[in-house]
Amino acid sequence: MATDLDSLASRVQQRDDDAIVEFAEYFGLCFRTFFISRGVLDAEGLAVTCVSEAVLAILEGKFKDRGPGSLRAWAFGLARHKLLDEQHERCERATTALLEEPAWPGLQQDQEEAELTAAVFGALDQLDETSKTILIRRHIDGRNFAEIGAELGLKPGAMRVRHHRALATFAKLLPDGPPRAEMARTPSRRFNRGGHDRYQPPIPRRGK
C-alpha cells in the first residue's frame, strides 16, 4: 500500500507507532538512496540518524504542514543539511589531522616535515585572504566559529559555509605528491616557527 504522506506527519505527531514505523521505512529508503548518490560512505548510518532526527523534530512540532508535498520537501531539506554537515566534518577532520604533531622522530622526519609544510604553505598562499584567515584562525589559532565570525563580520551560518568552502578549495590545492596520507603528519608548530607572522592577513571589510 502506498504511503499517504499528506497525513503521515500528523499521525507521527499523535505518537502513532505504526505511523513512525511507516515514516522510518519510507524515508529511510529515500535518505539512503540520496546519500549513496552523493558518495557518502556510511549512507545507511547517516540515513538512520536523519530519520531519527526528523521524527524527533515532528514530535517537537517543528514541521509545519503547508499542503501536499510539504512533508517530503521538508524531510529532504533536513537530509541536505545533514549531508552538508557530514561533508564539513569530514573536511575539518582531514585538515585537523594535517596539522597534528608527528609521532615519529629522526632526520627523515625533518626532511619530510619541511616538504609537507612547504606544500601546505603553498596551498594557503593560493587562497583568497578571507579563506586563508578562516583556516589559520580555526586550525592554527584554535578559535571557534563565533570568534572568527565576529572578527570577519560574518554570521554563524555564513561562517560555517565559508569555512567549508575554504577547506574544499585548500584540499584541491594540495599537490598529489608526496602522498596525502603523508600530509597528515605535518605539524602545526611549523606554522609558528620562523615566519608565522607572515600569516596575519588584513581583515577584509564587509562589502569589499
The CA distance from 62 to 64, in Å, is: 6
How many residues can be counted in the chain? 208
pLDDT beyond 80 at 19:
yes
- Whether 55 maps to a domain, the answer reads yes
- Mean pLDDT is lowest, of 79-88, 112-121, 167-176, for 112-121
Q: Which of 91, 113, 133 is a domain's end point?
A: 91
Looking at every residue in the chain, the average pLDDT score rounds to 75
Shared domain check, 113 and 79: no
Indicate whether this model's pTM tops 0.85. Answer: no
In one-letter notation, the amino acid at residue 171 is A
Shared domain check, 112 and 85: no
The pLDDT, as a whole number, for residue 47 is: 92
Q: Which of 66, 91, 116 is a domain's end point?
A: 91
- Whether 124 maps to a domain, the answer reads yes
Shared domain check, 23 and 77: yes
Shared domain check, 108 and 69: no
Shared domain check, 130 and 75: no
Domain CATH code at residue 136: 1.10.10.10
Shared domain check, 73 and 11: yes
Shared domain check, 118 and 194: yes
In one-letter notation, the amino acid at residue 94 is A
Q: Domain range spanning residue 19?
A: 5-91
- Whether 9 maps to a domain, the answer reads yes
Total structural domains within the chain: 2
- Mean pLDDT is lowest, of 5-19, 54-68, 124-138, 194-208, for 194-208
- Whether 157 maps to a domain, the answer reads yes
- Whether 72 maps to a domain, the answer reads yes
pLDDT beyond 50 at 191:
no
Shared domain check, 123 and 82: no
